[in-house]
Amino acid sequence: MFEHMKKELERLAQLQQVSVPLESDAEGYWDKECPSPGCLFQFKVHNEDWKNIVRDEEVFCPACRHAAPAKSWFTTAQVEAAREFARGTVVNRLNRAIREDASESKRRQSPNSFLRITLEARGGRDAVLLPIASAEPMRLRAVCEGCECRYSYIGAAYFCPSCGRNSAKHTFFQTLGSIRSAVGLRGTLVGSIGIDEAEVVTQSLIEKGMLDAVTSFQRLSEQLYLLRTGKQAKRNSFQNLDVGSELWKSEIGQSYNQLTDEMSLAKLRIFYQQRHLLAHQQGIVDAEYIERSQDHRYVVGQKILVREGDVLEFVRLIEILGNGLMERVGD
């Protein structure tokens, strides 16, 4: 009477895997998640590139560069949905077997029998099996300059998920964009944490923006220099405007004076020296600062005042200088 059920249970005992359909988002991207427990960064890769460019052996996290096989990058939500899909598949197969046994038991009964024993299947509602939906498209998109893999993300991403390449150009512009966003948060913070705390946090973000602007240009310059010469520049050479300018003059025949105007370079010199004070002296002016920057607005012992407009101007000038280098060296 339960032959179909027995056979189905035997088949299920041999079942190794259940195919679970995944949907891409409206723009053709699949959801992915870093498998490193300390990261779990979520991003997307275009489904065609995941199939045709990304290697099965190794995929990289765009945030932390953790590497793992392609089968390791399902999101937490996808894994849970896949479990439910697998459970539904098993339930539906068992329900079907029970119904088949019930129907067969009725067919086998003789209409003239004095005693009739039949099996009737009730309940056993089938699970609705739908493809696993994708999350909404992510606004920020990138295309790797090396392997041309298309990926999207929220926040900041530094590495191509396919080849693991870190693009100096992409990281440079991403960092400058983050600085611009961060220094303009005062109004939002006032509404969230109060005016006093907002002022402290905003000033901290502004000063951090000065540090990050120099670091982003240093990183860009180091990678462009390596691309141009095939060798590493001396450590921290591009933290110093004069040293960096001389290095480029010897390699491309142009110093920073040819990449920007004299007034902009004078402003950059002040901003670079202010960054040095913030990093090493908590912004307290010393004689060396005045000598190197020629900024006579301060005397020794004062603390420099860096405002939102200063950082935005610094970022603008750094971007001009960076674009000039990229045009001449390439990336």
Task: Give me 122's structure tokens.
Answer: 């009730």
Confidence of residue 306 (pLDDT cuts 50, 70, 90): very high
pLDDT in tens, 251-265: 999 999 999 999 999
Choose the weakest-confidence range: 74-83, 121-130, 214-223.
121-130
Q: In the prediction, which pLDDT does 129 show?
A: 45
Burial class (CB in 10 A: 0-12, 13-18, 19+), 123: exposed
Q: Where are the domains of the chain?
A: 168-329
pTM of the predicted model as reported, rounded to 2 decimal places: 0.67
Q: What's the CA angle centered on 82, arms 21 and 154, to 5 degrees?
A: 85
pLDDT per residue as tens digits for the range 29-41: 999 999 999 999 9
**Mean pLDDT, the chain, whole residue set:** 84
Percent of the chain with pLDDT over 70: 79
Listed in order, strand segments (DSSP E) in the chain are: 29-33, 42-46, 59-60, 67-68, 140-143, 150-153
Kind plus residue range of the DSSP H or E element containing 192: helix 186-193
Please report, as a single letter, which amino acid is at residue 200: V
Angle between helices 76-108 and 3-13 (to 10 degrees): 150
**Averaged over 135-151, what is the pLDDT?**
88
